Amino acid sequence: MAIPLQAKSPPQGDGGKPASCAAADDDDQPSASAELRELWSMAAPITALNCVVYLRAMVSVLCLGRLGPLDLAGGALAIGLTNITGHSVLFGLASGLEPLCAQAFGSRNYDLLTLSLQRAVLLLLLAAAPIAALWLNVGPILVSLGQDPTISATAAAYARYALPDLAAAAVLQPLRVYLRSQGITKPMAACSAAAVAIHVPLNLILVFGLGLGVRGVAAAQAMTNTNMVVFLLVYIRWSRACDATWKGWAARPSDVASGLGGLVRLAVPSCVGVCLEWWWYEVVTVLAGYLPDPAAAVGAAGVLIQTTSLMYTVPMALAACVSTRPRRARMAAMVALGCALVIGVIHVAWTAALSRRWVELFTHEASVVRLASAAMPILGLCELGNCPQTTGCGVLRGTARPAVGARINLLSFYLVGTPVAVSLAFGARVGFGGLWYGLLSAQAACVALVLLAVVCRTDWRLEALRAKKLTGIEIVNAGGGEECKRLVAAEGEVGDV
C-alpha cells in the first residue's frame, strides 16, 4: 500500500554487519530470567487492564442476574450475539495493527505509526456501520433461528441500547494497540479503572434507579467504554506522552484512505483468527437455547462465558506483549508460553475447588447454578489448553502470520469442536455438559497445532528480518548473509505493505 515512509539507513551492528542481521544473531539471546522480568513488567499492567475490563462485564452480568432468569437469559444471549457480530470483529481488525505499530515504533518510523492508527480507526468505523444495521434487527433474526420469542425480545432491547458502544470501540481498540506498542500500559489500566469505578453507580442508576432493566445494562456498557476513550485522550493530552510519536492528522483524507488496502491485508486474517475462536464461545450460548429449559441453559452459558473471560485476562496480556516484541522474539515466545502453561494449571485447580461458590456469585437460581457448577471443572481443563494457545496466537500475530492462526482456529473449533459438541449435547443427549466437552476437544486440537507452528515451525532469524521489511526499512546485505538472501526469497509471504 502507499504509505509514505521516512527513508532510514539501518545502523551497523557488531563487526560491520547491518543491524537487521546483527539483531537476528545477537538480540534474540537474553537470559530467560531477564526476559521473564521484562515480559511481566509489560504484562502485569495489561493483565490489570483486562481484569478491570472484565469487572465491567461482570457487573453487567450480576445486574442481569438480579433482574431475574428471563433478563439473565435475554441479556446473556444479547451479549453473546453482540460479541459475535460486533466486538469480536472490531477487536480482531484492531489486532492487525499490532505488528505495524510494534515495528514502526521499534524502528522510530513515527509517520507510519501515526498513519496506521488513523487508518485503523477509519477501518473500524467503516466496519461498524453494517454491524449497527444488524443489531437493529436482532429480534427477528433470533426468532427466525428458533430462539424463544420472549428471550429474543429482551436481547433485541439490549442490542438497540448498545449501539453507541460500536463507535466507542472503533476508537478504543486501535488506541490501545497504539499505546501498548510504545510501552504505555500503566496509564491504560488506570484510565480503565477510573471508568469502571463509574460503571458501578451507572448500572445502579440506570438499571434499578430508572428501572431500565436490560436496556440500562447495555447503556451503561456503552457509556463506560466512551469514558475509557475520553480518559485516555485526556491523559495523552495532559501528560504529552505521545508528543514524540504523534505526527498529527493526515493533511488529506486521501492519505489515510489510500493505505487501507495494506492494513486490511493484515487486519482481516487477524480478525478471522480472533473471531473464529471468540465466536465459538458465543455459538455455545445460541446452542444452549435449543436445549430443554432454554432459560436456565442460556443463563448458565452466560455465567461460564464470563468466567472464561476472567481466565482469559492473563494469556491475553501475554499474547499482547509477545506480539509487540520484535526483538528477542524467540526467548519472549518461549517464556510467555511457559507462563501460560502455569496459569492454565492454576485455573484447573480453582475451577474444580470453587465451582459452586463461584457460580453463586452471579445468581442463586437453582437450575442455573446446577448446570453451570457441573460444567466448571470442564471449563478449567479447557483453560489448560487455552492459555498456551492464546499466547501462541499472539506470537503468530507478532510475526505477521495471522493467517496461520486463523486456519488453526477454523480446523480446531469448527471441524473438531463443533461436531463433538453437537453430537454429545443433542445426539448422545449429554445435554449442557456436552457443549463444553466440545470446547475441550477444540482446545486440545488448537493448542497442539499452535505449539507446532510456534515451537517447531518458526525460523526466528528469518522472522526478525521479515519484521524489518514490514515497516519498509531497506535491508542492506553488506556481507551477503544467508538469512538476508532467504528474506528476499520469502518476500512474497510478507506482501507489499
Q: pLDDT digits over 397-432, tens only? A: 666 676 777 788 888 889 999 999 999 999 888 889
Domain assignment present for residue 487? The answer is: no
Instruction: Residue 63: name the closest of 213, 223, 227 by CA.
Output: 213
Domain assignment present for residue 163? The answer is: yes
Give mean pLDDT, residues 277-284. Answer: 78
Tell me how far apart the alpha carbons of residues 26 and 14 are, in angstroms, rounded to a whole number. Answer: 9
**At residue 164, does pLDDT exceed 90?**
yes
Domain assignment present for residue 484? The answer is: no
Tell me how far apart the alpha carbons of residues 401 and 161 are, in angstroms, rounded to a whole number. Answer: 37
Lowest mean per-residue pLDDT among 119-123, 227-231, 279-283, 325-329: 325-329
pLDDT (0 to 100) of residue 460: 59
| Percentage of the chain lying above the pLDDT 70 cut | 80
Number of domains comprising the chain: 1
**Higher-scoring residue by pLDDT: 188, 259:** 188
Domain assignment present for residue 497? The answer is: no
**Higher-scoring residue by pLDDT: 464, 10:** 464
Domain assignment present for residue 388? The answer is: yes
**What does the pLDDT look like over 57-105, one tens digit per residue?**
788 888 888 888 888 888 888 887 888 888 889 988 888 888 788 778 8
Spatial contact of 19 and 479, defined as CB atoms under 8 Å apart: no
**What does the pLDDT look like over 186-219, one tens digit per residue?**
888 888 889 988 998 999 999 998 988 899 999 9
The sign of the torsion formed by the CA atoms of 71, 73, 79, 84 equals negative
Tell me how far apart the alpha carbons of residues 161 and 175 are, in angstroms, rounded to a whole number. Answer: 24
The sign of the torsion formed by the CA atoms of 306, 311, 313, 316 equals negative
pLDDT (0 to 100) of residue 26: 44
pLDDT (0 to 100) of residue 479: 38
Q: How many residues does the chain have?
A: 497
pLDDT (0 to 100) of residue 18: 39
**At residue 8, does pLDDT exceed 60?**
no
**Higher-scoring residue by pLDDT: 360, 482:** 360
pLDDT (0 to 100) of residue 495: 37
**Cross-strand bridge partners of residue 18:** 12
**At residue 151, does pLDDT exceed 80?**
yes
Domain assignment present for residue 125? The answer is: yes
pLDDT (0 to 100) of residue 220: 93
Give mean pLDDT, residues 131-154. Answer: 88
- Which DSSP symbol is given to 14? G
Domain assignment present for residue 229? The answer is: yes
Average pLDDT of the chain is 78
pLDDT band at 376 (very low <50, low <70, confident <90, very high): very high
**What does the pLDDT look like over 435-481, one tens digit per residue?**
999 989 988 888 888 878 766 666 656 665 665 555 554 333 333 44
pLDDT (0 to 100) of residue 472: 53
**What does the pLDDT look like over 286-327, one tens digit per residue?**
788 888 888 888 888 888 888 887 887 777 777 766 655 555
**Residue span of the structural domain in which 397 resides:** 31-477
Domain assignment present for residue 490? The answer is: no
Tell me how far apart the alpha carbons of residues 331 and 286 are, in angstroms, rounded to a whole number. Answer: 40
